[in-house]
């Protein structure tokens, strides 16, 4: 019997529910926790000595898991530590740092199958790292500029025939003025270049516009690849499909072998077992890599296409690929 699967995810991460159900239906023991459970709902007791690696347990009111028996960990966007009320600010910061290094350190040290290991995820989340790795792995990437120098933007636009996009290097949402705002990929027009004040305030990412017939969300789980073609039904979605989900239609797709081989190399290089990659497929059929998110959403793709992603994640956690 394989060891239990430890799931570290936000309790309101509904896609993770599906992974829990898939594993339990196979008779696999599951211990699900959110980092936010610590220290008030979750107890850690870990020991290490010369004779053995980390042993001990994680426990909640409902169940306990023996650290030394954990066979795999599914790590997906857990919440922050929820510390006791009444702590001062300095106490909270101290306690959070101790919790991170203590609980986070013990978990990170577990030598088992990870989907994905948090250290690998943290590094892979940097788009510049992804682009460099994708290029090294033989995938086609768009010419890209990251800069805070306005004149560099003009030069890049000229080199690209004026056909460039601007997109956030990191998170695309913010709340200001009490309103939620998103910054989607923007195909720039000549008027946008008239006033470049603010470029120098931070890093900005620009890419050459890539002509697209459609896009593909390629979900990679272990050795398996699930390709969903995303067809935009509006101008906004053609520019950035995230901006108009209502107009999208999805079909299952296949992956050209050179792209699949490149993705396998990329996943290995980034030390990821799960990744949600985005590609543009041009009118000529060429696949251009945009990014791979180590924690990308997958549930709606499964819902729209029937691609068995939850089952594949369960397979991979069991070591069945």
Partner 1 sequence: MTTPLDRDAFPLTPPGGRTPYSTEAPSGPQTRPWALRFARVPDSTQAARVPAHVFDHDRQVNVSDDGGLLTCMANTHTPTVPDGSTTNPPPLDEGPKD
Stretch that binds partner 1, among 42-50, 65-73, 196-204, 262-270 (CB under 8 A): 196-204
Min. distance of Cβ 63 from partner 1 in angstroms? 9
* 234-237 long-range Cβ contacts below 8 angstroms, 24+ apart: 236/184
- The secondary element (H helix, E strand) that includes residue 303 is helix 299-305
Q: Does 201 bind partner 1 (CB under 8 A)?
A: yes
Q: Does 171 bind partner 1 (CB under 8 A)?
A: yes
- The secondary element (H helix, E strand) that includes residue 299 is helix 299-305
Among 51, 191, 202, 257, binds partner 1 (CB under 8 A): 202
Q: Does 39 bind partner 1 (CB under 8 A)?
A: no
Min. distance of Cβ 18 from partner 1 in angstroms? 8
Q: Does 178 bind partner 1 (CB under 8 A)?
A: yes
Sequence-distant (6+) residues with CB within 8 A of 304 are 228, 250
Measured from the CB atom, the residue of 94 and 245 that comes closer to partner 1 is: 245
Residues from 239 through 258 that contact partner 1 (CB under 8 A): 242-246
Stretch that binds partner 1, among 136-144, 184-192, 219-227, 252-260 (CB under 8 A): 184-192
Check the CA dihedral 276-280-281-284 and report its sign: negative
Measured from the CB atom, the residue of 39 and 168 that comes closer to partner 1 is: 168
Residues from 121 through 160 that contact partner 1 (CB under 8 A): 121-123, 125
Residues from 49 through 68 that contact partner 1 (CB under 8 A): 60-62
Q: Does 163 bind partner 1 (CB under 8 A)?
A: no
Q: Does 300 bind partner 1 (CB under 8 A)?
A: yes
Tell me the C-alpha distance between 32 and 40, whole Å.
15
Look at residue 297 and give its three-state secondary structure.
coil
Check: CB of residue 114 under 8 Å from CB of residue 72: yes
Q: Does 21 bind partner 1 (CB under 8 A)?
A: yes
DSSP string, 113-156: EEES-HHHHHHHT-HHHHHHHHHHTT-----EEEES-HHHHHHH
Residues from 61 through 100 that contact partner 1 (CB under 8 A): 61-62, 76-81, 96-97, 100
Among 1, 49, 86, 175, binds partner 1 (CB under 8 A): 175
- Rounded to 5 degrees, what angle do the CA atoms 231, 126, 120 make? 105
Check: CB of residue 264 under 8 Å from CB of residue 223: yes
Among 161, 191, 197, 257, binds partner 1 (CB under 8 A): 197
Min. distance of Cβ 179 from partner 1 in angstroms? 6
Min. distance of Cβ 285 from partner 1 in angstroms? 25
Count residues binding partner 1 (CB under 8 A): 78
User: 144 - beta bridge partners?
Assistant: 207
Tell me the C-alpha distance between 190 and 199, whole Å.
16
């Amino acid at each position: 019997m394989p060891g239990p699967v430890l799931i570290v995810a936000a309790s309101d991460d509904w896609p993770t529910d599906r992974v829990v159900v898939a594993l339990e239906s196979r008779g696999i023991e599951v211990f699900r926790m959110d980092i936010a459970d610590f220290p008030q709902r979750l107890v850690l007791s870990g020991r290490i000595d010369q004779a053995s690696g980390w042993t001990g347990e994680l426990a909640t009111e409902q169940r306990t898991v023996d650290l030394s028996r954990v066979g795999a960990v599914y790590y997906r966007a857990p919440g922050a530590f929820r510390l006791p009320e009444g702590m001062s600010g300095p106490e909270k910061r101290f306690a959070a740092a101790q919790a991170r290094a203590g609980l986070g350190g013990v978990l990170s040290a577990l030598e088992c199958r990870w989907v994905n290991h948090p250290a690998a995820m943290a590094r892979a989340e940097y788009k510049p790292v992804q682009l460099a790795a994708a290029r090294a792995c033989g995938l086609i990437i768009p010419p890209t500029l990251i800069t805070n120098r306005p004149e560099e933007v003009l030069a890049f636009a000229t080199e690209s025939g004026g056909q460039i996009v601007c997109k956030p290097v990191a998170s695309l949402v913010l709340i200001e003025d009490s309103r939620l705002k998103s910054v989607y990929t923007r195909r720039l027009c000549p008027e946008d270049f008239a006033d470049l004040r603010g470029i120098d305030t931070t890093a900005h990412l620009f890419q050459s516009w890539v002509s697209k017939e459609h896009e593909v969300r390629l979900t990679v789980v272990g050795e398996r690849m699930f390709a969903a073609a995303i067809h935009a039904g509006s101008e906004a979605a053609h520019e950035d499909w995230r901006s108009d989900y209502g107009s999208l239609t999805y079909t299952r797709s296949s992956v050209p072998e050179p792209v699949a081989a490149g993705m396998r190399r990329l996943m290995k290089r980034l030390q990821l077992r799960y990744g949600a990659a985005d590609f543009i497929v041009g009118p000529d059929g060429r696949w251009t890599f945009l990014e791979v998110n180590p924690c990308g959403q997958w549930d709606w793709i499964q819902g729209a296409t029937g691609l068995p992603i939850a089952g594949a994640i369960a397979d991979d956690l069991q070591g069945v690929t």
